């Protein structure tokens, strides 16, 4: 196993830099993240908990972060995560439904399994054992604000944090209790319900300005940020007035999904803008649409339930757009997409090449299209000319529906 300095060198990180690992929420789509973490650890030559300084996570990302805090490798996390997902999305009863009779699922198996693998350890105990700082998120409905469960080591080696003595498994339940999917954990619901599904910017602020201000600074900071894939909602202009399906379902899904996506994109745009000088961001995300899936290596998927395509490149936008965070039938598909994106980032054909001769990303820099300043595998779609034309046409304006 590589030493910390060797791992940093393998990833092109200056030896003096602190490293933050931030993990988005996304339900069962977290298996996508796990595939990238497996490849990241392979390239580094060591588990994340040995060379990262801080981990942050929301919802499924917080579950993965908690397993890192308890010193699990990505391979070990995958095994436990698969077992967890197979147990957690259990319907509460025959009539349970997100919209008519919520919540859809119970948490009996989740609570039992998390207690088995985590036990009754506190946040401070796991941070101290792993020598890591952390920030895990949850929305406090009673206080009307996001709660950051933090634990940071100070310059004297002592840990601090408002909730450092709370049980880790309690935080793991607070952060995943997504509305309509699960019952709230007393006052707490899923940390990604509003703007913190991507906790990267909050993690940087917590480390640099607050809990870790004496040990972290942006001039010596590398931040790995992993998404769980984004499902894009492209609604044709002539369909927005009367969307497909029941209005309440459409708008609830749309608002919940787009709120988190837009907040995530805004945070990443800020971090990429240069407003925070010196920071090295390495963000990894993929859009679930045909154009992006066509760019990654093709893989067979013919044995996956409820999928018409036989390979990744045969997937159409309608199938990709239906990858819901709780749809466990798509779990094997998410795993394969993750494996394929990992190969796109680290092409197997370049494994034996010198670093200077590689063309792949290999986790050594931000995963970005430098022409568009957007993620390499993230779709941007707009119709600027049509918008300019229509919003300048008084007849078009006056003919738009008003009710």
d(CA 254, CA 246): 12
Kindly report, residue by residue over 125-169, the tens digit of the pLDDT.
Answer: 999 999 999 999 999 999 999 999 999 999 888 999 999 999 999
Q: Where are the beta strands (DSSP E) in 216-372?
A: 221-226, 280-284, 368-369
Helix (H, G, I), strand (E, B) or coil at 340: helix
Q: How far apart, in whole angstroms, are the C-alpha atoms of residue 142 and residue 111?
A: 22
- Ranges of residues in the chain with a pLDDT under 50 are none
Cβ neighbours of residue 345 under 8 Å, at least 6 residues apart?
36, 39, 284, 360, 361, 362, 363, 367
Burial (Cβ within 10 Å: 0-12, 13-18, ≥19) of residue 244: exposed
pLDDT of residue 304: 86
β-pair type (54-58, 133-140): parallel
> Which sign does the torsion angle of CA 159, 164, 169, 172 carry?
negative
| Exposure b/e, 105-115, CB count within 10 A at least 16 = b | bbbeebbebbe
Q: Is the CB of residue 177 less than 8 Å from the CB of residue 213?
A: no
């Amino acid at each position: 196993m590589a030493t910390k300095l060797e791992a940093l060198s393998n990833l092109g990180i200056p030896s003096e830099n602190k490293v933050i690992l931030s993990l988005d929420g996304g339900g069962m789509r977290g298996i996508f993240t796990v595939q990238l973490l497996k490849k990241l650890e392979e390239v580094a030559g060591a588990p994340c908990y040995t060379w990262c300084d801080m981990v942050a996570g929301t919802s499924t990302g917080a579950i993965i972060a908690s397993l890192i805090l308890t010193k699990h490798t990505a391979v070990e996390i995958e095994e436990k995560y698969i077992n967890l997902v197979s147990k957690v999305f259990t319907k509460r009863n025959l009539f349970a439904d997100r919209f008519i009779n919520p919540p859809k699922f119970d948490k009996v198996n989740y609570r039992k399994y998390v207690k088995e693998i985590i036990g009754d350890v506190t946040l401070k105990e796991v941070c101290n054992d792993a020598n890591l700082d952390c920030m895990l998120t949850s929305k406090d409905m009673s206080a009307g604000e996001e709660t950051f469960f933090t634990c940071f080591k100070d310059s004297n080696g002592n840990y601090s944090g408002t909730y450092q003595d709370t049980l880790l498994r309690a935080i793991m339940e607070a952060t995943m209790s997504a509305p309509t999917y699960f019952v709230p954990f007393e006052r707490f619901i899923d940390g990604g319900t509003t703007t913190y599904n991507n906790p990267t910017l909050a993690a940087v602020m917590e480390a640099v300005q607050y809990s870790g201000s004496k040990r972290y600074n942006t001039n010596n900071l590398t931040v790995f940020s992993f998404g769980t894939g984004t499902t894009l909602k492209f609604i044709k202009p002539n369909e927005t007035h009367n969307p497909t399906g029941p209005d309440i379902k459409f708008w609830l899904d749309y608002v919940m999904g787009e709120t988190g996506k837009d907040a995530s994109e805004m945070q990443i745009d800020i971090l990429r803008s240069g407003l925070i000088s010196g920071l090295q961001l390495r963000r990894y995300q993929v859009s679930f649409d045909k154009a992006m899936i066509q760019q990654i290596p093709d893989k067979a998927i013919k044995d996956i339930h409820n999928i018409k395509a036989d390979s990744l490149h045969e997937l159409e936008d309608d199938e990709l757009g239906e990858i819901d965070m709780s749809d466990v039938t798509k779990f094997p598909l998410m795993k394969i997409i993750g494996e394929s994106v990992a190969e796109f980032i680290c092409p197997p054909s370049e494994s034996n090449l010198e670093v200077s001769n590689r063309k792949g990303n290999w986790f050594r820099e931000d995963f970005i299209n430098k022409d568009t300043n957007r993620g390499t595998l993230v779709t941007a779609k707009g119709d600027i000319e049509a918008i300019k034309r229509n919003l300048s046409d008084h007849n078009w304006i006056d003919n738009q529906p008003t009710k």
